[in-house]
Structures are given as C-alpha cells and as structure tokens.
Amino acid sequence: MPDLSRRVALVVEDDGPAPITIADHLAGLGHEVTMIFQTPGPAPLVGKYSVGSMLARLDLGGVRLVPLARVVDIDGGTLTLAHSYSMRRWTVDGFDSVVLACGSVGDDALYREVKRQHPDVRLLGDAYAPRRMVFATRQAWELALALALG
Ligand SMILES: Cc1cc2nc3c(=O)[nH]c(=O)nc-3n(C[C@H](O)[C@H](O)[C@H](O)COP(=O)(O)OP(=O)(O)OC[C@H]3O[C@@H](n4cnc5c(N)ncnc54)[C@H](O)[C@@H]3O)c2cc1C
C-alpha cells in the first residue's frame, strides 16, 4: 500500500464487498475515511444478511458514508460530486489522499503458466471474472459434469 495521508476519500465504483474491506482496512490503520458511492447504500451486491457485520465495522471505525454521489472532478484535496439522479453538484474538501475502488480484473497468470505445459487446462471462478462465490462453484459444477459425461 503506498503512503497515504490522514484524510482519505475513497471513490467507489464497485458494487461488491471489496470497497467496504478497503475502507475498513484504512480506518484500522488510523485514517479518516470518507466513502463516496453512487447507490443508496454501500455494496448493494452484498447480501443483507452479510453486510451488517461489515457496516458495523465501518461505523466503529468512524468511516463517513456519502451515498448517491458520483465523483465528477478531483482537484487536489477537493472533490466535485454529482447526485446520482438529480445531477445536482457540490464539493467536499479537506482530503489528503484519494483512493479509487473501481472494480477488479481477473488474475489468470497461473492458468496461462500451466496451460503452456498441459493441453487441457480450464479457467474458472474469479480468475475468469471476479464475481460472487456462487458463480465460481456453479462453473466448477458444470465443468465437473461435462468432464464426467465425457
Ligand atoms: C472482500 C471480499 C468479500 C467477499 N464476500 C463475498 C460474499 O459475501 N459472498 C460471495 O458469494 N462472494 C464473496 N466474495 C467473492 C468470493 O470470495 C469469490 O467470488 C470466490 O472466492 C472466488 O473463488 P475462486 O476459487 O475463483 O478464487 P479464490 O477464492 O480467490 O481462490 C483462488 C486461490 O488460488 C490461490 N492462488 C492464486 N494464485 C496462485 C498461485 N500462483 N499458486 C498457488 N495458489 C494460487 C489463492 O491464494 C486462492 O487461495 C468476496 C470477495 C472479496 C474480495
């Protein structure tokens, strides 16, 4: 993790759990974190029975939440935000660092390495495309079925 100063703006463009984990991590390191996201609540893809403990940690870590806001400009420590629906603009300032949590890309380096030595290697799960666990297990199930059926 590169050096970050105290007041961190966390720009979220990822509906999964990773941005919450980043906010929690930074708060745990003593940063004042402000999480800015476009949806009414953070991490809408995290199930309602899972997200509670994550939100508890953000609350206890003093993480400030700014919902329904899209970052349209970053000028030093000042961010210009636009409301997700009305497009109304406003600024928030006083930040020392800006962290972007804007999605993930699959890491298929191991697949490509092994494929050079074996003719039949398959790529599954988050290495194929980062999603939820059910996608990885469903892909694995379907591959196992296809292999069993020949
Ligand atoms: C913070 C966070 C929270 C999440 N919460 C949820 C949730 O609540 N519900 C949900 O459904 N999904 C959740 N997910 C997504 C879920 O974890 C993934 O979709 C799932 O784990 C993908 O499974 P996988 O087997 O493809 O990859 P992984 O679970 O990442 O397994 C890949 C494994 O390969 C190992 N590996 C990688 N490279 C090498 C190498 N070169 N040599 C040897 N080993 C290697 C890794 O160490 C790892 O153990 C979450 C993800 C994150 C990041």
Query: With a 6 A CB cut-off, is 136 part of the ligand 1 pocket?
Result: yes
Q: Is residue 1 part of a domain?
A: no
Domain match, 50 and 78 both? yes
Query: Residue range 14-28: average pLDDT?
Result: 95
By DSSP bridging, strand 32-36 and strand 64-66 are parallel
Q: Is the pLDDT of residue 1 over 70?
A: no
Q: Is residue 89 part of a domain?
A: yes
Give tens-digit pLDDT for 75-115: 999 999 999 999 999 999 999 999 999 988 899 999 999 99
Domain match, 119 and 92 both? no
Domain match, 35 and 83 both? yes
Q: Is residue 12 part of a domain?
A: yes
- Enter the tokens of residue 6: 């105290």
| Banded model confidence at residue 42, pLDDT cuts 50, 70, 90 | very high
Among 69, 91, 78, 96, residue whose Cα is nearest residue 12: 69
Give, for ligand 1, the residue of 24, 50, 113, 132 to mutate: max count of ligand atoms closer than 8 Å to Cβ: 132
In which domain, by residue range, is 56 found?
A: 7-101
Domain match, 91 and 142 both? no
Give, for ligand 1, the residue of 121, 133, 134, 135 to mutate: max count of ligand atoms closer than 8 Å to Cβ: 133
- Closest residue by Cα to atom 45, ligand 1, is 110
CATH number at residue 84: 3.50.50.60
Query: Residue range 33-44: average pLDDT?
Result: 96
Give tens-digit pLDDT for 25-37: 999 999 999 999 9
Q: How many domains does the chain have?
A: 2
Share of the chain above pLDDT 70, in %: 99
